[in-house]
């Protein structure tokens, strides 16, 4: 094998570091930061959040698994399993019960005391090769005590975001048999904290992200004009 083929494949690179596909087929997030002040510190904080969430979800289906290395743990890097599939906005087909399975996956996540907190992004929802939903990018995830009020509040926000995707993908005759479907987040209103963030926090975040951090704060999203995925046979409930 020549030197070029041994190089790692860089999946993403930004002000916080890089995400690489290792030669052994695992994904490695490196929180190296950049020349931007405090970027390394913030990158490490985000990495710690992801590590803590994935540690709580060890053995849990539908999410990447932490990979333990034989070498001493590097606090500036995290290695996880690779999920073969495409992000939701790039999927050409979906099982008719895809969003039901997604609701079930997210609810089971909450039962483990973990909230994703970044499910408004379609790229964080992966459609695997077998049609099942998977979740990736746990940098903003939070871990809570069972039955806590904060867990309940954030869980509702996760489900509300899933419902927004479901509504967008099944309205206007796009759903299975041309009908819109409804899920666990139906009728959920944006929380007070989410309303404050949308009105006051998000504009500031976008300014910092695009201006200071030089990141593109926009999210990958399927265009309203489509093309929209076609619906295929349902998958069996995930065990």
- Same domain for 89 and 180? yes
DSSP 96: T
- Same domain for 92 and 202? yes
Cβ(221)–Cβ(89) under 8 Å?
A: yes
For residues 73 and 28, give the distance between their C-alpha atoms in angstroms, rounded to a whole number. 13
- Inside any domain, residue 238: no
For residues 44 and 46, give the distance between their C-alpha atoms in angstroms, rounded to a whole number. 5
- Same domain for 200 and 171? yes
- pLDDT value at residue 98: 98
pTM of the model: 0.85
Determine the average pLDDT of the residues in 146-157.
94
Total count of domains within the chain:
2
- Same domain for 68 and 154? no
Q: In what order do the strands lie in the sheet with 85-87?
A: 85-87, 125-128, 133-135
- Same domain for 77 and 89? no
Determine the average pLDDT of the residues in 78-97.
97
- Inside any domain, residue 95: yes
For tokens 């926000």, name the residue.
157
Determine the average pLDDT of the residues in 51-77.
85
Between 62-71, 84-93, 110-119, the lowest mean confidence (pLDDT) is in 62-71
Q: Which two tokens stand for residue 161?
A: 């975001």
For residues 214 and 16, give the distance between their C-alpha atoms in angstroms, rounded to a whole number. 11
Judging by DSSP bridges, how do beta strands 93-95 and 133-135 pair with one another?
Answer: unpaired
- Picking from 81, 97, 129, the residue at the C-terminal end of a domain is 81
- Same domain for 66 and 177? no
Q: CB burial class (10 A; 0-12, 13-18, 19+) of residue 133?
A: buried
Task: Please report the sign of the dihedral spanned by the C-alpha atoms of residue 171, residue 174, residue 176, residue 177.
Answer: positive
Task: Please report the sign of the dihedral spanned by the C-alpha atoms of residue 152, residue 155, residue 161, residue 167.
Answer: negative
- Same domain for 97 and 188? yes
- Picking from 81, 110, 134, the residue at the C-terminal end of a domain is 81
* pLDDT surpasses 50 at 138: yes
Q: How confident is the model at residue 3 (pLDDT cuts 50, 70, 90)?
A: very low
Question: Per residue in 100-127, pLDDT tens?
Answer: 999 999 999 999 999 999 999 999 999 9
Please provide the average confidence, as pLDDT, over all residues in the chain. 87
- Same domain for 61 and 94? no
- pLDDT value at residue 69: 65
- Inside any domain, residue 149: yes
CATH of the domain at 72: 3.30.200.20
- pLDDT value at residue 220: 87
Determine the average pLDDT of the residues in 160-176.
96
% of residues, the chain, pLDDT over 70: 82
- pLDDT value at residue 180: 95
Question: Per residue in 186-213, pLDDT tens?
Answer: 876 666 555 554 565 556 545 555 555 5
Residue 41's domain comprises 3-81
Cβ(20)–Cβ(8) under 8 Å?
A: yes
% of residues, the chain, pLDDT over 90: 67
For tokens 């190089």, name the residue.
7
- Same domain for 68 and 94? no
């Amino acid at each position: 094998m020549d030197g070029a083929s041994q190089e790692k494949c860089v999946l993403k690179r930004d002000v916080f570091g890089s995400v690489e596909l290792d030669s052994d087929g695992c994904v490695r997030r490196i929180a190296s930061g950049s020349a931007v002040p405090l970027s390394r510190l913030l990158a490490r904080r985000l990495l710690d959040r992801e590590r803590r969430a994935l540690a709580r979800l060890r053995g849990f289906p539908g999410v990447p698994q932490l990979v333990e290395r034989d070498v001493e743990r590097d606090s500036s890097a995290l290695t996880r399993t690779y999920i073969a599939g495409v992000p939701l906005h790039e999927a050409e087909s979906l099982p008719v019960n895809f969003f039901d399975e997604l609701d079930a996956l997210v609810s089971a996540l909450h039962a483990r005391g973990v909230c994703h907190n970044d499910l408004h992004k379609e790229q964080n929802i992966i459609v695997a090769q077998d049609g099942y939903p998977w979740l990736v990018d746990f940098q903003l995830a939070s871990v809570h005590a069972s039955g806590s009020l904060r867990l309940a509040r954030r869980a509702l926000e996760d489900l509300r975001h899933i419902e927004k995707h479901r509504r967008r993908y099944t309205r206007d005759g796009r759903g299975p048999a041309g009908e819109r479907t409804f899920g666990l987040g139906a009728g959920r209103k944006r929380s007070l904290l989410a309303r404050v963030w949308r009105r006051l926090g998000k504009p500031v975040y976008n300014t910092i992200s695009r201006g200071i951090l030089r990141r593109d704060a926009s999210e990958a999203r399927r265009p309203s004009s489509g093309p929209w995925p076609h619906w295929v046979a349902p998958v069996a409930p995930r065990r």
